[in-house]
Amino acid sequence: MGYMRVFVAGVIWLVFAQVSAAKGLERLPYTSLQVSHTWGEADDPDFDFEGNSITVVLDTGSNVLIFGGYGSAKTDDFPGFGTRGFLMGSVFDMGLGYHYPLSPKIDLVPSISLSDTTTEFKGGFSGIPEENDTTWSYKLAVRALVTPHIELAGGVDYDGDDDESLFQVGVHYYPTNRFNLGVVYGFRDDVKGWELVGKMFFG
């Protein structure tokens, strides 16, 4: 999946290299289609991973958000269970959120989501039954439009079943009012990774 990373990075470079004629944003948009590519590493056990996801967000018009998405990821080979193998995972999620304006260009966004995750054991791990988990998570994010073309964002995502928190920080660039490209860094306990994000906005 490394080719996907190179392709997305190339698109970002081309967009950033252009001089945008867009006037810029006056407020943060929400209704969108998001595509992202993620890669990172874990420490225990020690492996690298890559994945892709797609997410749809709908702003109902009363500050309430409805969202849902699908993602998949794959690890490289790593030792375990007395052999070597790799994992493939997929997740469907859906949830509700609310965007509360702290100022005209800064929003606080709490949300709750339900995720259905499937983990498959491949390679030397073949024969181990796949795992299916359904979990609730709670997120609190802050979005700030620091210029008409640049958004800074950060947040924490708490998984109540695993009692773990994922922290994320990112920067997003709007070459037009209908599109942004961003880079997000996330970490939790022994896992850390990067995400390249592209969003198309509607409404």
pLDDT digit string, tens, across residues 52-103: 999 999 999 999 999 999 999 999 999 988 899 999 999 999 999 999 999 9
Model pTM score: 0.86
pLDDT digits (tens, 9 = 90+) for 21-45: 457 898 999 999 999 999 999 998 8
Distance CA 203, CA 194 (A): 29
Instruction: Answer yes or no: are the C-beta atoms of 112 and 133 closer than 8 Å.
Output: no
For the chain, which domains are there? 2-201 (2.40.160.20)
Instruction: Answer yes or no: are the C-beta atoms of 40 and 191 closer than 8 Å.
Output: yes
Which residues lie below 8 Å from residue 101, measured CB to CB, with a gap of 6+?
A: 107, 108
Distance CA 71, CA 23 (A): 33
Mean pLDDT of the chain: 90
pLDDT digits (tens, 9 = 90+) for 154-200: 999 998 777 889 999 999 999 999 999 999 999 998 899 999 999 99
